Amino acid sequence: MKKLSLNRLIAALIVIVPIYFMVAALGTKFGLWSWQFSLGTLIRDGGPILLGLTAIISLIALILAVVKKPRKGWLLPAFGIAVPAAIFAMLATTGSTAEENPIHDIATDTSNPPEFSAATMQDREAFGANPLSDYQTPLGDLEMYSGAAPELAIKSHAQIINETYADLAPLPLGGASKADAIAAVAAAMGNLGFTDIRTDADTGRVEGVAETFWFGFKDDVVARIGENQIDFRSVSRVGRSDLGANAARIAELRERVSNQIGQR
């Protein structure tokens, strides 16, 4: 009976653990609590406690199943250990990814990154978003990155982007007209699910807001259509590291636009 009760507890925990992390993320997305509470209190602080509890109870049950005859019923406890182990590994991988992608403001032109419109800047201010950083300033001189490791503090956004995302590049216009390029960028943003898409034919600017599925993080994206090329910029509203999301988004947006205007 005790063994049966223990197995039921393990089965319940196996179900509860992934639901807990999903609720933590989606609660932020739907405005039930702040992203700081989700990542800090629920995931960073509460997550390891729940995972550790599940692993310990499962380990005890596994030992009992192996030691006591008829030495069966070990599969569920083993699974109860595997689930938190997998989530611990995923969290560790996320931490490593954050170290590899230390910034959240990415552009294809690091000497003169595309600028956002006054309307977008007002939206960012009303949201309480991160301030935009000068690409040439060392991270150590920026308040957000105070306390950064010395080897990171001496680097600027431009240096990090050029080193980490060397494959990102402007998209040549080729034979496409500026008007066609603007339309192609706006269409690509729409197809990617961006909201609040704005186009300005006079400045050659197209803007949109991307939102992540988990947590609902909002990132502002702008494309600058010049005479010869299109430059892209994607900036997170919150957080320090973007886990590589902005660079990946620019690459995907660039690919979709290139397919429409026939350029690489």
> pLDDT tens digit string along 61-72?
999 988 877 777
Compute CA 96 distance to the chain's CA centroid, rounded to the nearest angstrom: 13
Positive/negative CA dihedral, 108, 187, 177, 174: positive
> pLDDT tens digit string along 126-169?
999 999 999 999 999 999 998 899 999 999 999 999 999 999 99
> pLDDT tens digit string along 162-201?
999 999 999 999 889 999 999 999 999 999 999 999 999 9
Nearest to 13 by CA among 55, 69, 43, 60: 55
- 121: how many CB neighbours lie within 10 A of its CB? 14
User: Largest alpha-carbon pair distance within the chain?
Assistant: 80
1 falls in which pLDDT band (50, 70, 90)? very low
Average pLDDT of the chain, as a whole number:
94
Strands 195-200 and 171-172, by their bridges, are unpaired
4 pLDDT above the threshold of 80: no
Instruction: Please give the DSSP secondary-structure letter assigned to residue 166.
Output: T
Domain boundaries, the chain: 2-100, 105-261
CA atoms within 13 A on the CB side of 8: 5
Write the CA distances from 1 to 6, 10, 58, 79, integer angstroms. 9, 14, 16, 20
Percentage helix, strand, coil, to 5, in the chain? 55, 15, 30
* CATH fold of the domain at 105-261: TATA-Binding Protein (3.30.310)
Nearest to 160 by CA among 217, 218, 83, 240: 240
Average pLDDT over residues 10-20: 96
